[in-house]
Amino acid sequence: MMTQPIPLTNLQARDIASVLHPYTPIHKLGEMGPLVIERGEGVYVYDTQGKPYIEGMSGLWCAGLGFGDEEMVEAATAQLRSLPYYHLFGAKGTESAIELAEKLKEIAPMPISKVFFTSSGSEANDTQVKLAWYMNNALGRPDKKKIISRMKAYHGVTVMSASLTGLPYNHMGWDLPVDRVLHTDCPHYYRFGAEGESEAEFVARIVGSLRDLIEREGPDTIAAMIAEPVMGAGGVIVPPAGYYPAIQEVLDEHDIILIDDEVINGFGRTGNWWGCQTLGMKPTTISAAKQLTAAYAPLGAVMVPEDIYQAYVDHSAKIGTFGHGFTYGGHPLGCALGVKAIEIYQRRDILGHVRKLAPVFEKRMRKLADHPLVGEARYCGLVGGVELVADKATRRSFDAKSGVGAQCARFCEAHGAILRGIGDTIALCPPMIITESELEELFDRLEKALDDCEAWVSTQGLRAS
């Protein structure tokens, strides 16, 4: 099954000699070589040999406006010339941070009082936990500190956000998860529904499991539950209808806040400003990042309502200060680009464009579901996941060691499409500016890769149980 090592270019050799790559089987890096990207334009990126690829993942779910948008470049240049850096510590402020906070409050799905800026989505979710603890200390509830997440959730890679993440590779070898983190069922009916169980029965069962978890642990010990509307890096999992209203009832009953992780879902990806609007969530607080700046600079944000903010104020008065923040949280460059990105999303009607393309995306995803290698094709707006299986009838997965998803992603690259293998799910998340013809071409290339992968699976005898 192993391929022969490929000849490395000078840049690839230098990369391997010096760079530690995230989310990479680094023990195999010398065999496959890194793909070094030199430039980008629109929905395409180009490697150092000049080969074009449709960037079907928006980088890492984030480059919503594609590559080389001149308005974004001009906004960055103007900000760097006027104020390349400043901070928000010690009651300092910048106009770009103020303006971006105002814009986020304007488009928020519920009343928001304040915006706290971070450098990333991981930091935003890490901050969410600290703020929940801070709030409960302020309210005289020092034991109400546990956070509920879900199996297969993805919330980041700091010690706490990786603990919230419910994926084995984020825990194995890292001494995670830490205390105070609980995991409940993943709402993936295709993979976890019992034989003969309807979607409604599946929802009732896992919501009952959540209720049992809360009552077993004690609701007075649980501060919050965190959830992505559509679960991204866990395999693009779209929960069944009725799931979020059902868990909301349980959380409200036990005075547990709902943290909405919009890091992947936010800013139009699902056809609304926020994934919670598409999926029927009613969050208490929101984490945002990625498409917040269309990936033109790092930035994350936490959005909180007035009553929770007042608890922070009260505790600040008791302690003497609000002791949390990041050197680059609210960086003027990131904030200026966030302002410009939201302006572009509004002026160019990117939400309308996503809604227009969503039926095309759905049609092609449904077609992929008929492929002999595909067990399920999941989608919402312009994000989707194609789960590869060894047996369609029984839904049996491939042996994880076979690396079928990773191999399929490499076949995609050979056909000029960059997609991501998440286990044996191939994720799609193209830039929201993609045209209909470019979207059709992306799916054409994926279909060719699936055909190649099907042939490879057969040659390798990987369907054997």
| For residues 62-87, average pLDDT | 98
Q: In this predicted structure, which of 14-23, 116-125, 217-226, 403-412 has the lowest mean pLDDT?
A: 14-23
Q: Where in the chain is the domain with CATH 3.90.1150.10?
A: 35-68+350-460
Read off the pLDDT band of 464 (50, 70, 90): confident
Instruction: List, by residue range, all CATH 3.40.640.10 domains of the chain.
Output: 70-347
Mean of the pLDDT values across residues 36-54?
97
Both tokens assigned to 159: 């010690």
pLDDT digits over 303-320, tens only? 999 999 999 999 999 999
Q: Average the pLDDT over 218-237 and give the result.
A: 98
Beta pairing partners, 374: 388
The pLDDT tens digits of the residues spanning 135-177 come to 999 999 999 999 999 999 999 999 999 999 999 999 999 999 9
pLDDT at 241 over 90: yes
Residue with more model confidence, 30 or 340: 340
Question: Residue-wise over 105-142: b if at least 16 C-beta within 10 A, else e?
Answer: eeebbeebebbbbbbbbbbbbbbbbebbbbbbbbeeee
Taking the C-alpha atoms of 74, 291, 177 and 226 in order, what is their torsion angle to the nearest 10 degrees? 140
| Res. 7 pLDDT band, cuts 50 70 90 | confident
Report yes or no on whether pTM surpasses 0.85. Answer: yes
375: tokens are: 């067990």
User: Residue 152: exposed, middle, or buried by beta-carbon count in 10 A (0-12, 13-18, 19+)?
Assistant: buried
pLDDT at residue 115, as a whole number = 98
CB-based burial label for 47 (10 Å; 0-12, 13-18, 19+): middle
3-state secondary structure 409-460: HHHHHHCCEECEEECCEEEECCCCCCCHHHHHHHHHHHHHHHHHHHHHHHHH
* pLDDT reading at 413 higher than 50: yes
pLDDT at 2: 46
Q: Is the distance from CB of 287 to CB of 124 less than 8 angstroms?
A: yes
DSSP letters of 109-163? SS---EEEEESSHHHHHHHHHHHHHHHHHHTT-TT--EEEEETT----SSHHHHH
Structure confidence at residue 463 as a pLDDT band (50, 70, 90):
confident
- What is the pLDDT, as a whole number, of residue 427? 98
465, pLDDT greater than 80: no
What CATH class has 70-347?
alpha beta
Please check whether residue 167 is in contact with residue 154, taking contact to mean a CB–CB distance below 8 angstroms. yes
In the chain, the amino acid numbered 399 is D
The predicted structure's pLDDT at residue 32? 81
pLDDT digits (tens, 9 = 90+) for 319-345: 999 999 999 999 999 999 999 999 999
Averaged pLDDT, 49-62:
98
Q: Does 130 have pLDDT greater than 80?
A: yes
- Mean pLDDT for the chain overall: 96
Residue 34 pLDDT greater than 60, yes or no: yes
Residue-level pLDDT at 194: 96
Percentage above 70 pLDDT, the chain: 98
pLDDT-derived band at 36 (thresholds 50, 70, 90) equals very high
Determine the CATH number of domain 35-68+350-460. 3.90.1150.10
